[in-house]
Amino acid sequence: MIKTVGEGAVFAIQMLMNGSIPKQAEELVLDASESSRNSTIEKGAILQYGPFFDRLNSETLASSNSQFFNLFEYISLYIHIPFCRRKCPYCHFYSVYDDESIKDRYLQALVREIEQKKSLFSKRHIVSLYFGGGTPFLFGVERIKTILDYFDVVDCEITLEANPESISEEKLEEYRAIGVNRLSFGVQSFDQRELQLLGRCHSVEQAIQAVHLAKPFGNISIDLMYELPGQTLSSWKRTLEQACSLPIQHISLYNLMIEPESAWYRKKEAIVLPGEQMALAMYEAAVDITSKHGFEQYEISAFSRPGFHSNHNSGYWIGREFLGFGAAAFSFYNNYRFSNVADIRKYCSEEESVDFSETLTSEERVRELIAVGLRMNQGVDVAALEEHWGAAAPSLSHLEEAGLLVTKKGRVGLTQRGRLLYDAVAAEII
């Protein structure tokens, strides 16, 4: 079974999200013509030499005529809004109780960090801006607008995460008026028993109503979870059919993982998850049902209607640089990976919020880009990576011989068997 560290999301390598489970073991997944929270990183050296951002020079980025590396003209931004009305028992992302008394102070800290990083993004085309959490919808229209006003977001995908019980038609219209053009709903299931098990605050009816109210956005994504305790293939199929009948453009799938930072971890021995064969059947059902309703699978765990791929999440898999803002947010920029302190009060009170950083060598960067790029149906141009970074890629021949990878038209991609064993493939490469 694929078990990866789980949108919204959105930390470290922005988390190798949930994987897929295939049908025919040797079937080729690679399609070169495809149109196109907290992952554990060992604490490295905290920078000791002056302000961290002084060391990141936006003028040092290498240039290339390669179409792939025109990515360096672009950048994605992630804003972490940690406020939640309730912590779900499976959630391992950094979040805090929805406390109005600290929100203005948190906004001030975000503005401070945006000003600190301004030179890193001011000359770049911002192609996506993602408000994740937490429940960013709860932060308030005026505060979100204040943040947006600091960025040039022309031709930019602007996503806001929301929970179905938190929205109103009036607030949705206000968010749309300030420029938010994509919503991501944490639906998780259209089965009432499963929603209660997951500790969700909304009902099936509220989830359906929320999607219909948000229809004017024209770009709606929902998260769905499978491999839940007691979940059946029939209940999962009903959830998928209900999802596909709604006016949505994107679906992200997550298989349940019991992470150390979650409340369920303390009683993990008592939690019985579906077996591997059932998980396989659930994934196959997702592929079949979404395809039947006109969705295309463009990444291991993502499905969209034509033209509605997630620009933001795709950026993680193709190697686009990103900057994270807010408590616990991760960034990757100019071969530096760094993260902010996962403590809202420290984040608000300290002038410099970075508490972890590491520099990747060219060899490490090539390995990572191959590993994450394999998540995409279009695969990876390994030769272009080697040329750009001036570093040799690891040998992949043994993975091809094992039937996990295949090369087609100069690009390396996963076979269906490779998708099933993606975690092992990625670990072997990295």
Per residue in 41-90, pLDDT (tens digit) is 222 222 222 344 444 433 333 333 334 445 568 999 999 999 999 999 99
Overall average pLDDT of the 357-381 stretch: 94
* Bond before 230 cis per omega within 30 degrees: no
pLDDT score recorded for residue 72 = 67
pLDDT score recorded for residue 184 = 98
pLDDT score recorded for residue 70 = 55
pLDDT score recorded for residue 310 = 97
Residue 325: beta bridge partners?
Answer: 79
Supply the mean pLDDT for the chain.
85
Residue 6 and residue 14: Cα distance in Å, rounded?
Answer: 9
With a cut of 60, say whether residue 360 has pLDDT above it: yes
Max avg pLDDT among 16-30, 230-244, 405-419:
230-244
pLDDT score recorded for residue 71 = 59
Q: Residue ranges per domain, the chain?
A: 52-318
Report whether 396 contacts 405 (CB < 8 A): yes
Report the candidate in 340, 280, 364, 308 with the shortest Cα–Cα distance to residue 117: 340
Report whether 285 contacts 237 (CB < 8 A): yes
Angle between helix 276-292 and 233-244 (nearest 10): 20
pLDDT score recorded for residue 257 = 86
Q: CA angle 171-176-181, nearest 5°?
A: 130
Overall average pLDDT of the 5-20 stretch: 32
Range with lowest mean pLDDT among 67-71, 120-124, 162-166, 256-260: 67-71
pLDDT score recorded for residue 276 = 81
Tell whether domain 52-318 is in CATH 3.40.50.720. Answer: no
With a cut of 70, say whether residue 188 has pLDDT above it: yes
Collect contacts of 240-247 with beta carbons under 8 A, ≥24 apart: 240/285, 240/286, 240/289, 240/290, 241/289, 242/190, 242/204, 242/208, 243/187, 243/190, 244/289, 244/290, 244/292, 244/293, 244/295, 245/293, 246/208, 246/211, 246/212, 246/222, 247/211, 247/212, 247/215, 247/220
With a cut of 80, say whether residue 194 has pLDDT above it: yes
pLDDT score recorded for residue 422 = 86
pLDDT score recorded for residue 6 = 31
Residue 331 and residue 354: Cα distance in Å, rounded?
Answer: 10
Overall average pLDDT of the 111-130 stretch: 96
Over residues 279-314, the pLDDT tens digits come to 889 988 999 999 999 999 999 999 999 999 999 999
pTM (predicted TM-score) = 0.84
Residue 430 and residue 424: Cα distance in Å, rounded?
Answer: 10
Range with lowest mean pLDDT among 218-222, 281-285, 404-408: 281-285
Quote the percentage of the chain above a pLDDT of 70. Answer: 83
pLDDT score recorded for residue 415 = 86
Report whether 76 contacts 315 (CB < 8 A): yes
Over residues 27-36, the pLDDT tens digits come to 333 333 333 3
With a cut of 60, say whether residue 264 has pLDDT above it: yes
Report whether 132 contacts 7 (CB < 8 A): yes
